[in-house]
A and B are shown apart, each in its own frame.
Chain A
Amino acid sequence: MIIDSLQKLNPFNVNKRKKSKIYTDQIKLLSLHHYKHCKKYKKIINNLKFKIKNKNRLIDFPMLPVRLFKKFELKSVSETKIVKRLVSSGTSGQELSKIYLDKENANNQARVLGKIMSSILGSRRLPMLIIDQNPKITDRSTFNARVAAIYGFSMFGIKHCYLLNKKNKIDYLALNNFLQKYGKDKFLIFGFTSLVYEYLIQKLLIGSIKSNFKNGILIHGGGWKKMEKLKVNNSIFKKKLLQKIKLNEIYNYYGLIEQIGSVFIESSKCGYFHTSVFSDIFIRDKKFNILKHKKRGLIQLLSLLPTSYPGHNILTEDIGEIIGEDNCKCGFKGKYFLVHGRAKEAEIRGCSDIR
């Protein structure tokens, strides 16, 4: 199993040549796997008259548009093997992505996320403040991306403290307890970007806390559609956190619910997202040509993790640009890139839909 052997590597220390070899082989194998086990994927490949078994360039493998996971159930394992069903935490009214995981896929996600995070945070597990409610006290009828992320990331911490109480209010008692006990040494903070903004930047009353966050290490991601609406970009976000609670070690992550585990981490040293050995990125223009570095276009994401659903090669609706590869000043190998937000919602012209 490739994931096992890749686990032994430093995920941010694999160069272009080596990675390209791994991906050409692995994406082919994954494509064949899904072709055999997912009827809908097979139908797509057949209709596009793509021959997986031929010698293909990596960039020629058909990508699935991310919205397909909202419209269809796409899975490559039998119903009985599914242990977890994830749904995206999209805003109300939207269709949600549905991702089906078997045991192996779920385990690999956890392992890879662990590998990636420990190369950033070190292997020591730190006390962890979570900018959310305890998912155990909230309605768990759906296992959405937010809850999945909390569970996924909480592995990297101990002594978990949840900032929000049942009523979604800041629990100052718990917070002060946590800061008093652990705030003198390094501790972790984790949350959805929009929640971090709402609670730590907007709502937190400085007068009500007895300590500060200067030893905190924030990991945040997701929910940035809201941030776009608020017109708060990454650098404003960071600046405000520094100003308000003296927090300066901040890691943004980027990833799709369709590719949980192989997330992209924004290094605090350079401010760019990085691919790990478990993931890759291409930028495409409107004709789907591959764009050179420093050109903006649609983001295509590859992940070696998805086996129980065909999510290994996805065309996102996000716009980004690759800055470079293997030569980032932060020392990480792999491609480093920026995400510029969602492709603008089109003005849908048509004769249906009255709102």
Chain B
Amino acid sequence: MEEQKRPKLGAAVILDKEILNYDVLRNTNFSIKVSEPFNNLSINLMTDFSYELRKTKKINLFPDLVYLTFWCRKNINNNLVKHFNNNYLRLGRGLIFHICPSNVPTNFIYSFFFGLLSGNSNIVKIPSKNFKEKDIILSVLKSLFNKKKYINLKNTNCFIQYNNKDKITEKISSICDGRVIWGGNKTINDIRKMWIPERAIDITFPDRYSLSVINLDKIKKLRLEQIKMLTKKFYHDGYMMNQLACNSPHFIFWVGKKNKELQNSFWNELNKIVDKNFFFDDIHIVDKYTNLMENIIIQKDFKNIKMLKNNIYVIDPDNKTNNIEDIRGVNGTFFQKNINQINDLKQFITKKCQTVSYFGFSREQLRYFLLNNNLLGIDRVVPIGKATEIDIIWDGYDIVKSLSRVISVE
């Protein structure tokens, strides 16, 4: 590791009174260090983190934490270093400032791991809302950082929490080498107005929307058991994040000859799964019903609304509805449309489109569609069931490459 001295940094910022403190954060020895992407220390931390998190009491009550442990292990096992196709020498950019959404309990830790794996020092703005998940993650990290072997990481990374205080965001922005900004469009625009050093970069993750495509010709050939499997996967994508993540599907495009019976049996199977597995809070139902009423008022008259016991709302929008990027459901509200072939999807794709999850198409078909339709949107195409899996290639970025710099040596 190569240390950079940067006077006047860190401590003053971190100890700003307005920043609520976790012990992890109150570290006056803060300094910036950079290293190679996927250096051993970062991989070890992820390994230990995953292990310790898995041991946490009642971890099974938090599906997103269970998934996090799985995600860490998967990334380590896939031997990221080897997959990191790299002919050049690379080092982290320096100090990365992560501005994470307030309403997703676990997002900040993914953002942090991205920064860490890329070889950077990190300041991570954590959500100000109270989430048990947040506390659990921080306490695991804290105990790891207090181990001798991670002293270097402890002194080069910090997690801070404050309510929207532009002053603090401005201050950290002015000393960072890169920002990772998650949030709504307004937030991102506001933050981008704040000055960053000339060489610093911004990676933004603004509001996106996602959809699914299902090949009716293929689903027709499935046995009931297989349809059940598919709906189970779809359930995972659609309900895991209350449909509020940018990768949650809102629209389902049925491709091929319209088959009402088949489509309905898909929804009915999904209904059984939701009924059995998903726990709605009262407020989820209120939100869902309110969202439905809002959509009715705002959108063109719907052709049909199917309300399966508040488990699923399935809406057939008007045929003329083409601009779908702002039509959103919540807590299991899906819009469906029939198209003849996959190429007909292109009229619905805008820059805002992030993930297309699919069933019944070959990669070649999808590649052909993606390359030959002049698309400005779609950054991710995954089989149904994998929509919520956050990856190191995300929103059109190879994050580790973006957060590190290339050094040419001749």
Contact = CB atoms under 8 A, between A and B. Distances in A.
A46 interface: yes
A48 B289 CA distance: 12
Interface stretch (B135-143, B144-152, B180-188, B358-366): B180-188
Interface string B327-344: 000000000000000000
- Which 3 residue pairs of A and B lie closest in terms of their CB atoms, listed nearest first? A350-B244, A352-B184, A355-B102
A6 B294 CA distance: 34
A139 interface: no
Interface string A317-355: 101000000000000000000000001111111111111
Contact of B297 (A43, A345, A354): A43
Interface in A52-75: 64-65, 67-68, 71-72
A353 B163 contact: no
B286 A298 contact: yes
B187 A354 contact: yes
A288 B284 CA distance: 13
Contacts of B102: 353-355
Interface in B116-133: 125, 127-129, 131
Contacts of B244: 348-351
B208 interface: yes
A244 B110 CA distance: 53
Contact of A354 (B101, B282, B296): B101
Contact of B281 (A49, A65, A346, A354): A346
Nearest to A298: B282
B184 A47 contact: no
Contacts of B184: 352-354
B168 interface: no
Contact of A352 (B128, B187, B284, B286): B187
Interface in B194-251: 205, 207-208, 241-242, 244-246
B204 to A, nearest CB: 11
Contacts of B81: none
B397 to A, nearest CB: 15
Interface string A63-89: 011011001100000000000000000
A346 B283 contact: yes
Interface in B266-319: 280-287, 289-290, 293-294, 296-297, 301-302, 305, 309-311
A354 B99 contact: yes
**Interface size class for chain A?**
20 to 34
A121 interface: no
A344 B283 contact: yes
Kindly state the interface size class of chain B when it binds its partner.
35 or more
A350 to B, nearest CB: 3
B205 A315 contact: no
Interface string A298-309: 100000000000
A47 B187 CA distance: 35
Interface of A: 40, 43-44, 46-49, 64-65, 67-68, 71-72, 286-288, 297-298, 315, 317, 319, 343-355
B187 A287 contact: no
Q: Which of A286, A297, A348, A354 has the most CB of B within 10 A?
A: A354
A142 B244 CA distance: 34
Contacts, number: 124
B281 A287 contact: no
Contacts of B246: 350-351
Contacts of B281: 343-344, 346
Contacts of B187: 352-354
Nearest to B191: A354
B105 interface: yes
Given A352-B183, A353-B101, A65 B286 contact: yes
Contacts of B280: 286
B80 interface: no
Given A44-B293, A286-B280, A343-B281, 4 more contacts: A68-B293, A286-B285, A347-B105, A352-B183
B293 A346 contact: no
Given A43-B301, A317-B283, A346 B242 contact: yes
B286 to A, nearest CB: 5
18 contacts: A43-B301, A44-B296, A49-B305, A65-B286, A71-B294, A72-B297, A287-B311, A297-B282, A298-B285, A343-B282, A344-B283, A348-B242, A349-B244, A351-B246, A352-B103, A353-B187, A355-B103, A355-B164
A350 B100 CA distance: 11
A354 B245 contact: no
B19 interface: no
B160 to A, nearest CB: 13
Nearest to B131: A347
Main secondary structure of the interface of B (DSSP, over half): loop
B326 to A, nearest CB: 12
A352 B163 CA distance: 15
Contacts of A319: 282
Q: Which of A48, A298, A355 has the most CB of B within 10 A?
A: A355
B104 interface: yes
Contact of A344 (B129, B282, B293): B282
Contact of B101 (A67, A287, A350): A350
B310 A287 contact: yes
B286 A350 contact: no
A351 B282 contact: no
Nearest to A46: B301
B241 A350 contact: yes
A104 to B, nearest CB: 25
Interface in B391-408: none
A296 to B, nearest CB: 9
Contacts of B103: 347-350, 352-353, 355
A238 to B, nearest CB: 27
A348 B311 CA distance: 18
Given A46-B301, A72-B297, A349-B244, A315 B101 contact: no
Contacts of A286: 280, 282, 284-285, 310
Contacts of B293: 44, 64-65, 68
Given A286-B285, A315-B289, A351 B297 contact: no
Given A343-B281, A353-B101, A315 B286 contact: yes
B104 A349 contact: yes
A40 B289 contact: no
A134 to B, nearest CB: 35
Given A344-B281, A354-B182, A68 B245 contact: no
Nearest to A41: B297
A350 B301 CA distance: 27
Contacts of A348: 103, 242, 244
A71 B297 CA distance: 10
Contacts of A344: 281-283
Contact of A349 (B245, B294, B297): B245
